[in-house]
Amino acid sequence: MKIAVIGATGMVGTVMLSLLESRNFPVTELLLVASKKSVGKSLLFKNKAHKIIAIQEAVDAKPAIAIFSAGGETSLEWAPKFAQVGTTVIDNSSVWRMDPNKKLIVPEINASTLSKEDKIIANPNCSTIQLVMALAPLHEKYKMKRVVVSTYQSVSGTGSKAVKQMEGEENHLETPMAYPYQIHRNVIPHCDDFQDNGYTKEEMKLALEPQKILNDTSFSITATAVRVPTSGGHSEAVNVSFVKDFTLEQVRIIIKQTPGVTLQDNPKTNTYPMPILAHNKDAVFVGRLRRDFSQQNTLNMWIVSDNLRKGAATNAIQIAEYLVVKRLV
């Protein structure tokens, strides 16, 4: 199985390589692609040095799967070129997500919709993935009407420049600014670019992507996305109104039984999800379950996940694993 990783030296790309190794993905030949300045350098994979190559060289090698985490412009230009030579692309950028001809996949929810004809597969937004992982089984049981979500997103979601900004500010060092303001000891209600409607791109991703993943527009989502000074892990405060009523006991049972989701919900022992506990884990953690007394059939919940793992790299690798198991590549 010839595999290409595009953006291999980035924060997500590095985690992808680690997961390909730790999950024993059947790689027979690994093609590593990064920026032009990195070509010729080497990365270790299974204790063997692999040279970084130019992206055209990777296309010419016709890998079975190319996993992209190199930004939207790169994906827009190069994903179709890989697809043209028969490669199946799994793309972590946002450029293909809402394309009606491309599938937006969270394997536990909708991998069964994939076929050999799907040559460009979109990996959802990190915040979307953890949200739908928790909500999908509840939607199936109770039918969502409206979701209000406020996110608490780590600086790693922006990239290494943002991590360096926060660390520099903590240590009183001058570093390039990834944000328009200080992030250390601050909270910035601004994730991604603002749109004409006053929402940011991140907030609109949260509003639209779950409907596509669940193939259902009967519910609506409104979001506020906030950047917080944590180095890893995204958190979400979620308020969801259902058509049908529920009991908290039944909700807990459903969440416990959902693959990829872990319940952490015991106020008596201060048990609840936190980014520090989700670090380097692939699960989505759910807690702080309580009924909203101000609305009928409405639930409050708190969702946390490592945004570089299930929110990005793990989800992409799981898609690749599904393609291999089902012989779609």
Q: Which residues are catalytic?
A: 126, 234
CA-to-CA distance for 151 and 226, rounded, in angstroms?
6
Instruction: Find the helix or strand (DSSP H, E) in which 85 lies.
Output: none
Q: Which of 123, 169, 88 is nearest to 13 (CA)?
A: 123
Report the relative pairing of strands 234-242 and 298-305 from DSSP bridges: antiparallel
Q: Which of 221, 227, 231, 236 is nearest to 284 (CA)?
A: 236
CA-to-CA distance for 266 and 257, rounded, in angstroms?
17
Alpha-carbon distance values, 179 to 86, 97, 176, 206 (Å)? 39, 25, 9, 21
Alpha-carbon distance values, 275 to 106, 126, 133 (Å)? 21, 14, 17
CA-to-CA distance for 194 and 201, rounded, in angstroms?
6
Q: Which of 209, 23, 204, 13 is nearest to 109 (CA)?
A: 209
Rg for the chain (alpha carbons), in Å?
A: 20
Burial 92-112 (b: 16+ CB within 10 A, else e): bbbbbbeeeebbbbbbbbbbe
Q: Which of 166, 172, 147, 286 is nearest to 222 (CA)?
A: 147
CA-to-CA distance for 30 and 220, rounded, in angstroms?
42
